[in-house]
């Protein structure tokens, strides 16, 4: 099995190694295709690999008239214009659930760390403030997990794993998603009601146009001064300016964020808060989840080259 | 109900408020009793409150010939000479399991944070290194939780809650304790074998003379270069010099510590590592667990004043 595969997004080198061992990679390193490749080269491209969040609109597809498959590395495919792909007969695949455990684990890590002020606690030890018995408002006892109301927004593979993990901490778990699922957690029939009810709101919804800035000033106000926001979905789901305002005036108690409206995220108002924990979009980024995602990518590529249906197609509306 | 209660350890002010509302407190603020109180005052003391880790030897008991009860705030009572108390007819009580969930939660927080390099990840965002795409070895993908071998040392109330939480992360949980328990986790028949087997060793054993430095260079060598140590028990259980050596030469991969041989802990070799997470003995330190511990303390005090058996007596050998 061999063939040419266009690498559309900028990926860390190591992620493409197992794919490069089986296919010839035309690596754009994330630059505009027409600046890196000739029209002749692009006209031969049948298959490309993309990070799901990278914008891939109709006009880019039209640079590659032979394009038959877009294979997203990871679960997300929010950057791909699915309707445009469909209209052009281009299959779109991804790596469903391959990184669900790793992402759910980051969600829990963020929730636990921010609610117990882990970062200020570590700094309190390292700075010598503990040894000096220096008073610190960050070290005051805070509510624990038993009985804590955890609201999970989105009940896909990741949301389910978050709910199962959160429940093990003796919390009370409820969720909202477009439809009710057969899961042992209470269903709340709107995001607003979920935010009103919960102490920690974990955003695990699949991102898209319908979820753009869905976590806005109103939702944050409902979450309230003892409430925490955790986002491991996409930065676009949260109105970041509203979040900064809510953290500034104490509308909410804190936040744990693995994703941002603009990535990579630069130091700004958000990075100045002590009551936030910020990670550089590493949710799915474990050794085992990369192996699982690469297996999905390779299986999608193999099928695409053989002209067969992709084994891991995206399922919009799911 | 009222009476005089000697406060033997140095406690944060807030912790004694609900107790001071019901009893007259003679607060030593952790200073030597004979320097703070007259012999006449001490001769009248019938009941004292201590933090379990504070050394309370026979000679201190002998300063208080009327002493009838030692009430420990918290689960531990390792500082109290139980045999000496028993010989003098002094009852010893504590707050069993009242803080078990809070301590188990810190154990999980430390495990999750250190294995995913949460602190370097947060620093990577805040410093601008992410925005600058600066390479960082700390950000390399690492093994995730599914299939990870978690070894729990000690299967009391805290160990059980740690095991239940860890299992929810799709890990493989085993334990060692002095005796086999009716729990759904594999029993390994020695600490050495548990360390050899596991990827993360969580120390949740009740501290005492028999566990002093039980985590030594040999156990750390068995844990190995991909292994992590988490300690939420007592600092005395770990040979801290051996731990520093093991972190220095890569004998183990990292550590999460809530407790230290000397507390409060000062900046030293341990606080210089990027692959450790350090918290200032805040395991049981949540608002709800303080309420639960205070309820145990108050119940023990009430019974002691009425000359009844303590409702929450310590059970050495359990």
pLDDT for A1: 45
**Chain A residues touching residue B290 (CB < 8 angstroms):** 141
Is the Cβ–Cβ distance between B54 and B92 less than 8 Å?
no
Nearest-CA distance from A25 to chain B in Å? 23
Q: Residue B212: which pLDDT band, with cuts at 50, 70 and 90?
A: very high
pLDDT for A318: 45
Do B4-96+287-305 and B100-278 agree at the fold level? yes
Catalytic-role residue among B94, B117, B165, B281: B281
Q: Residue B269: which pLDDT band, with cuts at 50, 70 and 90?
A: very high
User: Closest-CA residue in chain B for A170?
Assistant: B101
User: What superfamily does domain B4-96+287-305 belong to in CATH?
Assistant: NAD(P)-binding Rossmann-like Domain (3.40.50.720)
Average pLDDT of the residues in B228-240: 97
> Each residue of B31-89: pLDDT tens digit?
999 999 999 999 999 999 999 989 999 999 999 999 999 999 998 999 999 999 999 99
B234 is catalytic: yes
CATH number, span A100-278: 3.40.50.720
pLDDT for B316: 64
Residue of B105, B279, B280 lying closest to A145 (CB–CB): B105
pLDDT for B318: 44
Residue of B108, B122, B289 lying closest to A278 (CB–CB): B122
Q: Return the minimum-mean-pLDDT range out of A60-64, A230-234, B1-5, B172-176.
A: B1-5
pLDDT for A316: 64
Residue-by-residue pLDDT tens, chain A, 318 positions: 468 999 999 998 888 999 999 999 999 999 999 999 999 999 999 999 999 999 999 999 999 999 999 999 998 999 999 999 999 999 999 998 889 999 999 999 999 999 999 999 999 999 999 999 999 999 999 999 999 999 999 999 999 999 999 999 999 999 999 999 999 999 999 999 999 999 999 999 988 889 999 999 999 999 999 999 999 999 999 999 999 999 999 999 999 999 999 999 999 999 999 999 999 999 999 999 999 999 999 999 999 999 999 999 998 654
**Chain A residues touching residue B168 (CB < 8 angstroms):** 164-165, 167-168
Residue listed under structure tokens 């980024």: A285
- Give CA–CA dist B260/B290, Å, rounded: 21
> Each residue of A176-193: pLDDT tens digit?
999 999 999 999 999 999
Nearest-CA distance from B163 to chain A in Å? 10
Residue listed under structure tokens 């078990």: B100
User: Closest-CA residue in chain A for B168?
Assistant: A165
Beta partners for residue A175, in sequence order = A152, A187
CATH number, span A4-98+287-305: 3.40.50.720
Q: Residue B250: which pLDDT band, with cuts at 50, 70 and 90?
A: very high
Of A90, A91, A142, the closest CA to residue A121 belongs to A142
pLDDT for A14: 86
pLDDT for B13: 85
Is the Cβ–Cβ distance between A310 and A303 less than 8 Å?
yes
B281 is catalytic: yes
- CA dihedral defined by B151, B155, B157, B161, rounded to 10 degrees? 30
- Give CA–CA dist B289/A147, Å, rounded: 12
Domain locations in chain B?
A: 4-96+287-305, 100-278
Tell me whether residues A282 and B116 touch, CB distance under 8 A. yes
Cα angle A290-A291-A295, degrees, rounded to a multiple of 5 = 115
DSSP-assigned letter for residue A146: T
Of A211, A168, A161, A198, the closest CA to residue A183 belongs to A161
Residues contacting residue A14 through CB under 8 Å, at least 6 positions apart: B141
Q: A208-234: buried (b, 16+ CB within 10 Å) or exposed (e) per residue? A: beebeebbeeebbbbbbeebbbbbbbb
> Each residue of B116-143: pLDDT tens digit?
999 999 999 999 999 999 999 999 999 9
> Each residue of B86-106: pLDDT tens digit?
999 999 999 988 899 999 999
pLDDT for B140: 92
- Give CA–CA dist A231/A237, Å, rounded: 8
């Amino acid at each position: 099995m061999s063939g040419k595969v266009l690498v559309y997004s900028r990926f860390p080198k190591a992620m493409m190694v197992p794919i490069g061992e089986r296919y010839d990679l035309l690596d754009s390193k994330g630059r505009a295709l027409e600046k890196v490749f000739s029209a002749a080269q692009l006209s031969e491209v049948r298959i490309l690999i993309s990070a799901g969040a990278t914008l891939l609109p109709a006009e880019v597809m039209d640079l590659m008239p032979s394009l038959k498959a877009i294979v997203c590395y990871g679960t997300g495919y929010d950057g791909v214009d699915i309707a445009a792909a469909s209209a052009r007969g281009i299959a779109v695949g991804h790596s469903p659930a391959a990184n669900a455990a790793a992402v759910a684990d980051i969600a829990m890590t963020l929730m636990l760390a921010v609610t117990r002020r882990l970062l200020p606690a570590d700094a309190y030890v390292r700075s010598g403030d503990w040894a000096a018995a220096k008073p610190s408002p960050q070290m005051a006892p805070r509510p624990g997990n038993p009985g804590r109301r955890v609201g999970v927004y989105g009940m896909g593979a990741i949301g389910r794993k978050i709910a199962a993990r959160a429940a093990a901490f003796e919390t009370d778990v409820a969720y909202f998603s477009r439809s009710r699922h057969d899961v042992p957690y209470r269903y709340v029939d709107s995001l607003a009601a979920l935010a009103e009810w919960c102490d920690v709101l974990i955003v695990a919804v699949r991102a898209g146009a319908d979820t753009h800035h869905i976590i806005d000033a109103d939702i944050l106000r409902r979450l309230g001064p003892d409430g925490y926001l955790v986002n491991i979905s996409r930065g676009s789901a949260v109105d970041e300016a509203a979040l900064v305002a809510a953290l500034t005036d104490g509308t909410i108690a804190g936040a744990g964020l693995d994703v941002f409206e603009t990535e990579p995220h630069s130091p700004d108002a958000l990075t100045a808060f002590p009551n936030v924990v910020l990670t550089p979009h590493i949710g799915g980024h474990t050794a085992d989840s990369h192996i699982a995602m690469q297996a999905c990518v390779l299986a999608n590529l193999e099928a695409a080259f053989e002209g067969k249906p992709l084994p891991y197609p995206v399922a919009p509306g799911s």
